[in-house]
Amino acid sequence: MKKICVIIGARPQFIKHAPVELALKKIFNVISIHTGQHYDEKMSDIFFKQLNMDKPAYMLEVGSGSHGKQTGIMLEKIEEVLLNEKPDAVLVYGDTNSTLSGALAASKLHIPVIHIEAGLRSYNKLMPEEVNRILTDHISDFLFAPTDTAVSNLLQEGIKKSVYKTGDVMYDTVLLAKKVLGEDVQVKDQVLVTLHRPYNTDNLVRLTQILTILNGLKYAIIFPIHPRTRNILKAANVDISIFDNIDFIDPVSYFDLIRFQMESKCIITDSGGVQKEAYLLKRKCITLRSETEWVETLVNGWNTLVFEDLEKLSILVEVQPGSYVDDVYGDGHAAEEIAALIDKNLKND
């Protein structure tokens, strides 16, 4: 059996890994390596338990830190594991510092790199994720792109070999959640909010402006708060009880977050995964960013970008989207397709 080391470390990667682990394990010896980028129980363990995933074989416990320090320590620790495990390939997801470290460590050891969620671009290099994605794609040997846009982004950068359009593995997980939760979910007068991007959180003036505007909306706001955002508000001694229309709660499990999206009239977020899930669940989304990688969600107003003009939010939450385009993120079997493609192509490597 060929051996694949999988690098995971941040919340969305656990969710992406759930269906992929299941599919890979039927064919490969799967060794998961958790970098420790996210470590709170509600940012990590909760997903392994709820999604019945294996405990990672390695917990590198790198923790938080500046980009250079975090990426550097991960690189060193992942290299050590790879030298020990000697896998046939290393698989990475998305665009976090864990992704880049894993891809770089493998590439320098001449171990084939598999990138799931290849080809995404925001064309904004101020985002740390954009740099992580570009570098990872350029050193990857197998690139699994979720959409046509992602494939053409890669083509524009001259990457055409071993690029496969497979659909998005997060759709596989959404379908599982829908099965678990059932169809009988009541929509409430509620808006779900998630925020963690540095440009919305690291500047306290902007963050409190966003919270003030959200607080003034006529719908109840439910806000599972990312630790980055929570820590920033806490460090600045912001009294969040003044935002009395916002229910600040701890990060929740995956199924709870999907249920909150299904129960909400609208979702306001800066998360990549949540934008996509809102679309897949047919919920209107407003994204507090000036651009998005998930351009398919913008069609017919299903997702609207707002960055400067936050006052528009009260009007935008009322706007109904137009017709819906199905299947832009695949058929919900991306993980199985990816596992089969790796099997076929690694053998010939």
Question: Any idea which residues carry the catalytic annotation?
Answer: 196
Binding partner of 224, given ligand UD1, ligand UDP, none, CB within 5-8 angstroms per partner class: ligand UDP
39 binds ligand UD1 (CB under 6 A): yes
Query: Binding to ligand UD1 (CB under 6 A): which residues in 63-102?
Result: 64, 95-97
Site for ligand UDP contains 146 (CB under 6 A): no
Among 16, 38, 165, 289, which residue sits at the site for ligand UD1 (rule: CB under 6 A)?
A: 38
Binding mask 108-137 for ligand UD1 (x = CB under 6 A): --------------------xx--------
Cβ-Cβ contacts under 8 Å for 45 (sequence gap 6 or more): none
- The reply on whether position 12 binds ligand UDP by CB under 6 A is yes
Stretch that binds ligand UD1, among 209-217, 226-234, 291-299, 315-323 (CB under 6 A): 226-234
Residue 64 binding target from ligand UDP, ligand UD1, none, CB below 5 to 8 Å by type: ligand UD1
Beta partners for residue 221, in sequence order: 191, 246
Provide the token pair at 207: 């963050």
Distance CA 210, CA 268 (A): 11
Phi-psi group of 324: left, alpha or beta (phi > 0 → left; psi -120 to 50 → alpha; rest → beta): beta
Could you tell me which stretch among 136-144, 269-277, 299-307, 328-336 binds ligand UDP (CB under 6 A)?
269-277
- Is 119 a residue that touches ligand UDP (CB under 6 A)? no
In whole angstroms, give the CA distance from residue 347 to residue 268.
Answer: 44
Does 34 bind ligand UD1 (CB under 6 A)? Our answer is no
CA distance 82 to 105: 8
Phi/psi zone of residue 162: left (φ > 0), alpha (ψ -120 to 50 degrees), beta? left
CA distances from 124 to 103, 120, 127, 130 (A): 21, 11, 6, 7
Q: Which DSSP category does 195 fall into?
A: -
Within positions 239 to 258, which residues make up the interface with ligand UDP, using CB under 6 A? 251-252, 254, 257
Query: Which candidate, 8, 297, 268, 27, places its Cα nearest to that of 168?
Result: 297
**Residue listed under structure tokens 């199924």:** 255
Of 85, 117, 141, 277, which lies in the binding site for ligand UDP, with binding defined by CB under 6 A?
277
Least distance to ligand UD1, CB of residue 13, Å: 8
320 C-beta neighbours (distance < 10 Å), count: 7
97 binds, among ligand UDP, ligand UD1, none (CB under 5 to 8 A by kind): ligand UD1
Q: Which stretch binds ligand UDP (CB under 6 A): 27-35, 132-140, 161-169, 265-273?
A: 265-273
- Candidates 214, 208, 199; CA nearest to 122 is 199
Kindly list the residues in this chain that would bind ligand UD1 in the complex (CB under 6 A). 10-12, 37-40, 43, 64, 95-97, 128-129, 196, 227-228, 231
Kindly list the residues in this chain that would bind ligand UDP in the complex (CB under 6 A). 11-12, 15, 194, 196, 224, 251-252, 254, 257, 271-274, 277
